[in-house]
Chain A
């Protein structure tokens, strides 16, 4: 058996060990990549420094490394960084049975450093290029201010990711306690959206904002789904059928959600007929987009507890739908059911 003739690529040696990048990795990498540009080395470096001096005996350096469980220290002479000494250097001294030698005899003088104001991506690159385990961090005046290892970078990124996560949690927590924190006889949160006629590209955008808002408010997933389907159908109706568009309004109260649309025409001649499954006045173009099957109002009715449609030809249409919330679940947070994964695997 022969070893492969070619030399492995840098990525294979240092990076992913030949493992292909999956989409999941790519997704994770995105945020981590962002962070590696945002975070500066000074934010993740260790500032509690152990240092050696050029005259220090190697045996003393070994003690420092052992006591503090580190694998290398920078060497300072009158406050200036003059070298770095690591376990590898000490092993060389040990091989020669030369532990009484001074640090300067074995230290590495050509010190690779990173600046405290550099982003950690620079440090990562330096680690990879130079195959080093630790780097001294220096300030604008080239004075030593800290040390950085790959472990520090990993820890820094994890802390930052956790902070991201916490911020979203806090936002959710605040929103979901809105109704408890604000005291009034009757607290109502009103969301209002202007919907343009014929604007198919934006169609559904208001509904997806509503969905996000309800999730943040801690609404029950089932109620969120019913509300969003009804609102989405109503939003599409404003886009498809109105002359000048209309207003979509959502009023959230702890005990109910009221969804309404108002437009100024053309109006519906027969408000009974539109509830017949399959009845539609949609154009061929709208049907080609998958709408206008005559199921819109039927769908809405199915999703809500009450529906009230008032229309006058030439004046406009007003649609009001309500969903009543058992146990006032908005505000009293409920977690989404676990995605139990037994049914189809």
Chain B
């Protein structure tokens, strides 16, 4: 699924327009614990999270996410946007909550990229 399509589905706002949005997203993962993100995600997914600190971008980068969506209309601090722009990570904010967003994306055909923790990462 194209990131632009996802942005439309979540009625999101692109927070760092200088970053390329012509990206294919293969799955989704929703988490507020960074260790969960690192432990149970697969590459090339979009991260849905309620956290907005700069670590989210670093975590997403290390775990090879392709974009981050902040839930409940959260606005990240300037440092978060700076790091994301530097690392070419698109940031999107959506007015909806986590459950609603996961539901919308899953319903539109975006699979879960949360893997079983007991199995080494894909």
**Chain A interface (Cβ within 8 Å of chain B)?**
22-24, 26-27, 30, 200-201, 203-205, 207-208, 211, 225-226, 228-229, 232-233, 236, 289-291, 293-296, 298-299, 302-303, 339, 341, 343-345
Q: Are B17 and A204 in contact (CB under 8 A)?
A: no
User: In the bound complex, how far is the Cα of B37 from the Cα of A225, in angstroms?
Assistant: 13
Q: Are A201 and B54 in contact (CB under 8 A)?
A: yes
A208, A226, A290, A343: the one within 8 Å of B34 (CB) = A290
Give the distance to chain A from B11, nearest Cβ to Cβ, in Å: 17
User: In the bound complex, how far is the Cα of B55 from the Cα of A296, in angstroms?
Assistant: 15
Q: Are B20 and A295 in contact (CB under 8 A)?
A: no
User: In the bound complex, how far is the Cα of B17 from the Cα of A211, in angstroms?
Assistant: 25
The residue of chain A having its C-beta at the shortest distance from the C-beta of B39 within the complex is: A299
A204, A208, A225, A344: the one within 8 Å of B109 (CB) = A344
The residue of chain A having its C-beta at the shortest distance from the C-beta of B110 within the complex is: A344
B1, B33, B58: the one within 8 Å of A232 (CB) = B58
Give the distance to chain A from B13, nearest Cβ to Cβ, in Å: 13
Q: Are A291 and B55 in contact (CB under 8 A)?
A: yes
Q: Please judge, given known A-B contacts A225-B64, A303-B121, A344-B109, whether A208 and B24 are in contact too, CB under 8 Å.
A: no
The residue of chain A having its C-beta at the shortest distance from the C-beta of B82 within the complex is: A201
B21, B22, B38, B58: the one within 8 Å of A205 (CB) = B58
Q: Across the interface, which residues of B come within 8 angstroms of A226, CB to CB?
A: 120-121
Q: Is the interface of A mostly helix, strand, loop or mixed?
A: helix
User: In the bound complex, how far is the Cα of B32 from the Cα of A344, in angstroms?
Assistant: 25
22 cross-chain CB contacts under 8 A: A22-B21, A23-B19, A24-B20, A24-B22, A27-B18, A200-B54, A200-B55, A225-B63, A228-B62, A229-B38, A229-B63, A289-B51, A290-B51, A291-B33, A291-B55, A293-B34, A295-B35, A295-B38, A295-B39, A302-B121, A303-B121, A344-B111
Q: Across the interface, which residues of B come within 8 angstroms of A233, CB to CB?
A: 35, 38
Work out how many contacts link A and B, with CB atoms closer than 8 A: 113
Q: Across the interface, which residues of B come within 8 angstroms of A200, CB to CB?
A: 53-55
Q: Are A204 and B120 in contact (CB under 8 A)?
A: no
Q: Across the interface, which residues of A come within 8 angstroms of B34, CB to CB?
A: 236, 289-291, 293
Q: Are A204 and B62 in contact (CB under 8 A)?
A: yes
Q: Are A23 and B20 in contact (CB under 8 A)?
A: yes
Within 8 A of A (CB), among B15-62: 17-22, 24, 26-27, 32-39, 43-44, 49, 51, 53-56, 58-59, 61-62
Which bucket holds chain B's interface residue count? 35 or more
Give the distance to chain A from B8, nearest Cβ to Cβ, in Å: 14
User: In the bound complex, how far is the Cα of B44 from the Cα of A299, in angstroms?
Assistant: 20
Q: Are B121 and A203 in contact (CB under 8 A)?
A: no
Q: Is B79 an interface residue (CB 8 A)?
A: yes
The residue of chain A having its C-beta at the shortest distance from the C-beta of B16 within the complex is: A23
Give the distance to chain B from A120, nearest Cβ to Cβ, in Å: 23
Nearest 6 CB-CB pairings of A with B: A204-B58, A295-B35, A24-B22, A290-B34, A27-B20, A23-B21
B21, B36, B110: the one within 8 Å of A24 (CB) = B21
Q: Across the interface, which residues of B come within 8 angstroms of A232, CB to CB?
A: 38, 58-59, 62
Q: Across the interface, which residues of B come within 8 angstroms of A22, CB to CB?
A: 21-22
Q: Across the interface, which residues of A come within 8 angstroms of B56, CB to CB?
A: 290
Q: Are B62 and A229 in contact (CB under 8 A)?
A: yes
The residue of chain A having its C-beta at the shortest distance from the C-beta of B58 within the complex is: A204
Q: Across the interface, which residues of B come within 8 angstroms of A296, CB to CB?
A: 35
Give the distance to chain A from B122, nearest Cβ to Cβ, in Å: 9
Give the distance to chain A from B2, nearest Cβ to Cβ, in Å: 9
A26, A289, A339: the one within 8 Å of B18 (CB) = A26
Q: Across the interface, which residues of A come within 8 angstroms of B26, CB to CB?
A: 339, 341, 343-344
Q: Are A203 and B58 in contact (CB under 8 A)?
A: yes
Q: Are B35 and A344 in contact (CB under 8 A)?
A: no
The residue of chain A having its C-beta at the shortest distance from the C-beta of B118 within the complex is: A302
Which interface residue of A26, A27, A211, A290 has the most chain B CB atoms within 10 A? Answer: A290
Q: Is B72 an interface residue (CB 8 A)?
A: no
Q: Is B100 an interface residue (CB 8 A)?
A: no
Which interface residue of B33, B34, B87, B109 has the most chain A CB atoms within 10 A? Answer: B34
Give the distance to chain B from A275, nearest Cβ to Cβ, in Å: 14
A24, A26, A294, A299: the one within 8 Å of B38 (CB) = A299
Q: Please judge, given known A-B contacts A343-B111, A344-B111, whether A289 and B62 are in contact too, CB under 8 Å.
A: no
